[in-house]
Amino acid sequence: MRRIKTEEIKNKIIDALTKANFYLVPEFHEFLKYALTEETSETGRQVLKDLLENAEIAEKERLPLCQDTGMVNVYIELGQEVFLEGKLLTDVITEAVREVYTQNYLRPSVVNDPLRRLNTKDNTPPIVHFEVVPGDKVKILLVPKGGGSEQMCQVAMLAPHQGMEGVKELVISSVKRAGPNPCPPVIVGIGIGGNFDYVAYLAKKAILRPWGTRNTDPFYANLELELLKEINALGLGPGGLGGKFYAIDVRIETYPTHIAQLPVAVAFNCNSFRLAKIEI
C-alpha cells in the first residue's frame, strides 16, 4: 500500500493547470505547423498562421490561449494500492481550480445553477471522473474545455439496425451542424456503446488518447481513418472558413452495450487544446 497526501496532489494540479491555460499542447502545436505547410486554401492558411501567432503570444506574454478558459474537466486513474491521506480528494481539486483561476485572473465561466445562472466567480466546481485501476499510482488528466466546442457535442440513441452507416451519418451530420462553432481545427472524439450516460464519457476520453495512436481494434482504427478523410473532404477547413484541415484526428472508443440499443456520442475539442497530465 502506497500513501499519498492529497495536498501533494493539489500542488501538482495548481502547477499543471496553470501551465495548461497558457501553453498549447506541444503535439497540437506541431500539427498546426504541419497543416500550414499542406493547406491549399489561402483563408485556411491565414487562420493557421493566426493560431500559431496566438500560441506564441500567449506563451511569451503569459496570456490565456483563449478568453474562454473553460470549465475544468478532471479524469483520474486511481491505483487500487494507493491510500490517500488528508482532505477529500475532490475538495483539494476544487481548491486547486479556485486558486489557479482567481490568482491568475482567468475568466470564471461557471454558474452555480443551470437556470438561475449566478456565477461562482472562481470557476468551480470542476467536473471530476474517477476510474480505479491496478497499481500504486495516481494519474490525472486536466482539461480546461471551452463552451464553444462543448456546446457542439451530441449524443444519439440509435437503433441497432442503423449499424455502421447510422454511426457515419451521425458523425458527418454532427460536423456539418457544428461548422465553425467548435473553433477548428479540432479532434473529433466518438463514443460507441455503453449506455446513454457512458457513451458521452467515451467520446470525451477518445479526444484525450495519446498522440499518434489508433484504436487497438483494426476495425475501428480503419473507421477512424475513413471518417477523418470524409470529414476533411467536406472542405470546411480551419476556422470553418474553407480548406483541408477541419479535423486533425478522429478517435473512437467503444464499450459493450445492450442488444436493443446503439448509443453514439460525438465530441469536439477546440483549436486552443488545453491538456495537462500528472502522474504521482
Residue 246 vs residues 59, 104, 121, 151, 264: alpha-carbon distances, Å: 24, 32, 34, 17, 21
Cell representation of residue 203: 467520446
- Residue 172: predicted pLDDT: 98
Give start and end residues of each alpha helix (H) in the chain: 6-22, 26-38, 42-61, 89-103, 147-151, 163-178, 196-207, 218-232
Name every residue whose Cβ is closer than 8 Å to that of residue 277 and which is 6 or more positions away in sequence.
16, 139, 140, 141, 142
Name every residue whose Cβ is closer than 8 Å to that of residue 50 and which is 6 or more positions away in sequence.
none
Residue type at 229 in one-letter notation: K
| Separation of alpha carbons 162 and 174, rounded Å | 16
- Residue 262: predicted pLDDT: 98
| pLDDT digits (tens), the chain, 280 positions | 999 999 999 999 999 999 999 999 999 999 999 999 999 999 999 999 999 999 999 999 999 999 999 999 999 999 999 999 999 999 999 999 999 999 999 999 999 999 999 999 999 999 999 999 999 999 999 999 999 999 999 999 999 999 999 999 999 999 999 999 999 999 999 999 999 999 999 999 999 999 999 999 999 999 999 999 999 999 999 999 999 999 999 999 999 999 999 999 999 999 999 999 999 9
- Residue 252: predicted pLDDT: 98
DSSP 122-166: S--PPEEEEEEESSS-EEEEEEEE-HHHHHT-EEEEE-GGGHHHH
Nearest alpha-carbon partner for 184 in 278, 250, 101, 87: 250
Q: Any bridge partners for residue 128, and if so which?
A: 74
Q: Three-state SS for 189?
A: strand
Radius of gyration of the chain (CA): 19
Single pTM value for the model: 0.96
* HSE (side-chain half, CA atoms, 13 Å) at 141: 19
Hey, what domains does the chain have and what are their CATH numbers? 2-21+65-145 (no CATH), 148-271 (3.30.1330)
